Amino acid sequence: MIDWKRVAELREEIGADGFVEVADMFLDEAEGAVKALISGLPDSEVEGQLHFLKGSALNLGLSELAAICQECERKAAVGHAALIDMMQLAAIWRASRAGLLGGLSTDRAGAA
């Protein structure tokens, strides 16, 4: 579900403080994107939201979320946005978010 190697790489690339800032920003923006997708966007905006979410998820190591976003993005690109199971997407988002936060909390506790 989470590529911890990617998380470690990103943290190393931008430093611990920068990583916390990026992770917080991603979680806030991704939450907004997921809420927008669930509440119903015009079909013309669905693909863009999914693309944003996919890219951010990949950057932060949320591989399962990125994969479902890619699958959904492909559907939206060919005009099948209505066939996307947004509740499944939201469930994977919640699980990915919880896993990331849980892993980071454990990581911080171990570093203390």
Domain boundaries, the chain: 4-104
Q: DSSP character for 78? A: T
SS3 content of the chain, % helix, strand, coil (to 5): 90, 0, 10
Query: Which pLDDT score, from 0 to 100, does residue 20 have?
Result: 85
pTM: 0.83
Task: Report whether 19 contacts 10 (CB < 8 A).
Answer: yes
Residues 6+ apart with CB under 8 A from 77: 47
pLDDT in tens, the chain (112 residues): 889 999 888 889 888 888 888 888 989 999 999 999 999 888 889 999 999 999 989 988 999 999 999 999 999 999 999 999 999 999 999 999 999 888 877 655 444 4
